[in-house]
Structure 1
């Protein structure tokens, strides 16, 4: 089946441009559009969608709140994979604070609105496959940029979220937050990449996170990692 995409943006001209690009792909179909977050929720109630391209600054309901509501309504399977559509945030400027808020709300990544067509298509396919579009190093840079909105004095030992993890899982989470891929973590800890993938899946399940992007956010919020360094 083709990847079912929904376009959510209050600029009709922009939606038209994205639709033309995506409809030219044999494996992608634009099945719905909406002009704001509230309309998007209404449309989703009766439409099956795999990936949502979500603007952030819209009337009535912005993309951050819409993303939060979409993600909160989803459940995860035993491997930590969420049900329902995955959200890609559209931003005008790199490191937009709205993009950061949307990642916290459950978005799987963000794209700039002037993204080249080939990158847009690749991002949609990647997200549909279960990956996050934002690279860990990019996520760290964004979190460093907005570190002022995160808690700054939460003792790691007193954090209930991290208490759910084994020592090895916590070690893997720390390396994820430092921007390492599964392969790099495997080399650092002398493990197989498959074993690292298993640890990552357990971390996401125990902490009820959607993907590595949210894992990085949580690592900062709990004090495991601070802007500019590691505790």
Structure 2
């Protein structure tokens, strides 16, 4: 059986969660660098003119969270029952709310110091979690982890929600490492725990993991 193939630019972006899901499921993947003109013109392969795109056997799938949910079903990372599956979806959407803010910090504000200070205050400072933040705050995500015992966000085992939280946390640790270690030590423990899981540990140490998280080299 052929391995899944991820079509993407040579940056991590949302494709990191997809890679983590595949290796956590005990599988491996191949990567194809995208031809930008083809991506914008070929509506069969790229119906939204965007990446990532996953080719898995006869399946051609686009849209990051659609691919993530497919991989979660394939590798049994979606939760064991309806209650867990709903919680997984909630966390995935919560991560996306924060990711929108992160993307703005990276590409529009370009990690300027004043922007970083405001970003931390709005989306990470525990005293501001009840303020206007567009539904995006790390406290909200950390609460799922705390209620579930600290190792996983949902249930007793690894889910795609853990991988989504791990990836967005990993991006922020690159920017706010000291502050996160001080204010959210439980998230650092979680980050280390997920990074040590079979398949994930080997992937993170391999050349398959790209160094650049963003296209503008920031972050």
What TM-score do the two structures reach when normalised by structure 2?
A: 0.25
The structure, 1 or 2, with the larger RCO (C-alpha pairs under 8 Å, 6+ apart) is 2
More helix by share: 2
More strand by share: 1
